[in-house]
Structure 1
């Protein structure tokens, strides 16, 4: 029986049940004296959407570039379905779809030409490239603009083209850096739906974004990073179980404050266009119970809603601990 090899001639490791997962263990990368990533750990399982969350300068993009095999770590290991990008670069890259935060090169080419060239780079069968490109243009809603140069596309349209470019070869791992940037509200909803569908199809989807409210609707779990290190990994359910902050306002603020005090709940007043009382509740049952108690007490509640998502609450708590 012939032994399968990658492009460099190394024996390709067998693909197991985690063929779509991607893992980084204790990876580090420096640029001169700047330690962008230090002993960072990361895992994104197949069939799930994993959020990568952290402030600017936390090392997120550097980590994504290493995961995409576009940047080699100084130390530590990366595994894509059991394969090491250092020894199996060609096969690893065939499994990864990379969407940077900007479209980048080839702005003089049309959307169709860009996707066609990417399909050739990934050595898709020539006979099927035209059909694959047309299908992908339709999927990212660019069929009407297929023969327009990329430079005339809006920021949101370029983002959709970048997503199509990342998906053209049907990768098992998808790495997305700020994919919702520039998208209109309708396109954001479409993106959320598409990413959930891709995860349901068994792909490992990694999303780095500063829009944490979007990630609450998409992600199954999150890896939080700061100052080049991993500071927490948790599922969305674990984040929700830690509680989140609610904003409550009423027609009579004094009556609301009195009832919250009577119930023994700590709160603070948030200034804004409509002043609201902010308080931390552990779960949906506590929220439902509080709303019932306020209504039964005759408090004229005018708004009652989460002030933050579960992942945003974790992020803010971590920021508070750091400071």
Structure 2
């Protein structure tokens, strides 16, 4: 188990000291609130003025290139680093003034999970339940429910060291949820997961958000984030570039589109009549030149109106990935 994991879990009291509670901004719907946060390591500036908010009941994606400061920010939110300057509130509390209070309300899943290899998953979760001072009478049932929730019940009494990387990731998520946090911080949670496990992770996180949990997730798997998140915060070089609703990221890009129809000849004729030459044709469909959402919607309507049996029509690649690339052109 890594040092940060131990520091995080083993200092959480049953109730925070009311004398050191610091209230967040006036918006009680925000689980995470960050303004002007900087962090220096000697002369190196990892964060240069990050702004971010993550509301309760929604999933916020944190997106940026390597070295953008994502993990540094998550460590600050998890109380494992202190900011050099700026304001931070997590579940209404200041992580610097009241780290124990923040930990009692926050679930933290780092990208590199440390585990006690000789414990079983059941023992591992029970250990953390005790560290979070959960009522002893509740521990056994809560641990069993979590193991079932992350599909590890059949491995509950095997040593952790026999688990695959993906299974350890799921165990890490169960550990982050053992005290029923109001805020969840996830750094690359899908790393090592197979497609089915990723789908189950998406379902679980959507369920948690629907129950009112504020979730902040960082990942390089942008296609997964696009399906999962409600909002996105783009960061680069330690600064916030943009904070958007997922539905609004298309404003950054004009995407190419792909259309597929049951009748290829009818599709080709209809596109030619509109002066549109496909950039390529594959089994996935005909790739069309870039166009706005409005123009794409009009084209689809006209194709259907002409009787072309369209069965698939959408942007090539994800909108989130396209927006990310558009905002990071200088890195190419």
Q: TM-score, normalised by structure 1?
A: 0.85
The reply on whether 1:141 has 2:141 as its aligned counterpart is no
- Does the alignment pair 1:12 with 2:21? yes
CA drift of 1:6 comes to: 3.2
Q: 1:170 to 1:300 in 2, by over 3 A?
A: closer
Any conservation in 2 of the 1:6–1:88 contact (CA below 8 Å)? yes
Aligned to 1:247: 258
- SS of the residue 1:21 aligns to: strand
Aligned twin of 2:81: 71
What is the match of residue 38 of structure 1?
A: 48
Aligned position for 2:321: 312
Distance 1:61 1:14, change over 3 A: closer
How big is each residue's C-alpha offset from its partner over 1:226-257, in whole Å with a ceiling of 9 and x where there is no partner?
A: 11111000011222466543234796899788
Q: Do the aligned residues in 2 keep the contact of 1:192 with 1:218 (CA within 8 Å)? A: yes
Local SS of the residue matching 1:194 = helix
Residue 184 of structure 2 corresponds to which residue in structure 1?
A: 174
Task: Confirm whether residue 217 of structure 1 aligns to residue 214 of structure 2.
Answer: no
Counterparts of 1:249 and 1:137 in 2: how far apart (Å)?
42
Worse overlay, 205-214 or 289-298: 289-298
Gaps of 5+ in 2: 1-14
Who is 2:59 aligned against? 49
Q: Deviation of residue 113 (structure 1)?
A: 1.3
**Cα offset, 1:298, TM superposition:** 9.5
The alpha-carbon deviation at position 292 of structure 1 amounts to 5.0
Using the alignment, how far apart are the partners of 2:27 and 2:305 within structure 1? 53
3-state SS in 2 of match to 1:192: helix
C-alpha distance in structure 2 between counterparts of 1:104 and 1:254, whole Å: 55
TM-superposed CA distance for 1:187, in Å, is: 1.2
Counterpart-to-counterpart distance in 2, 1:213 and 1:177: 16
Contact 2:230/2:246 (<8 A) preserved:
yes
Question: How far apart, in 2, do the equivalents of 1:172 and 1:142 lie?
Answer: 23
The aligned residue for residue 9 of structure 2 is none
Cα distance change of structure 1 residues 196 and 298 upon mapping to structure 2, 3 Å threshold: closer
Give the structure 2 partner of residue 226 of structure 1.
Answer: 236
Q: Distance in 1 between matches of 2:123 and 2:134?
A: 15
Provide the rounded CA distance (Å) in 1 between the counterparts of 2:282 and 2:65.
Answer: 25
Cα root mean square deviation, aligned: 3.0
For residues 231-310 of structure 1, the aligned pairs below 5 Å read 231-240=241-250, 244-248=255-259, 258-259=272-273, 262=275, 269=279, 277-283=287-293, 286-291=295-300, 293=302, 304-310=313-319
Distance 1:101 1:70 in 2: 14
Tell me the SS of whatever aligns to 2:19: coil
For residues 155 and 271 of structure 1, what CA distance do their matches in structure 2 show? 39
Residue 109 in structure 1 maps to residue 110 in structure 2: no
1:85-118 Cα shifts (integer Å, max 9, x gaps): 1111111111110011122131222111111111
Match of 1:129 in 2: 139
3-state DSSP class of the match of 2:208? helix
In the TM superposition, what is the alpha-carbon distance from 1:291 to its structure 2 partner? Answer: 3.7
- Answer whether contact 2:37 2:47 (CA < 8 A) is retained: yes
Tell whether the 8 Å contact from 2:257 to 2:314 is kept in structure 1 after alignment: yes
What is the match of residue 129 of structure 2?
A: 119
Whole-Å separation in 2 of the counterparts to 1:51 and 1:301 = 32
CA 131–274 in structure 1, closer or farther in 2 if over 3 Å, else same: closer
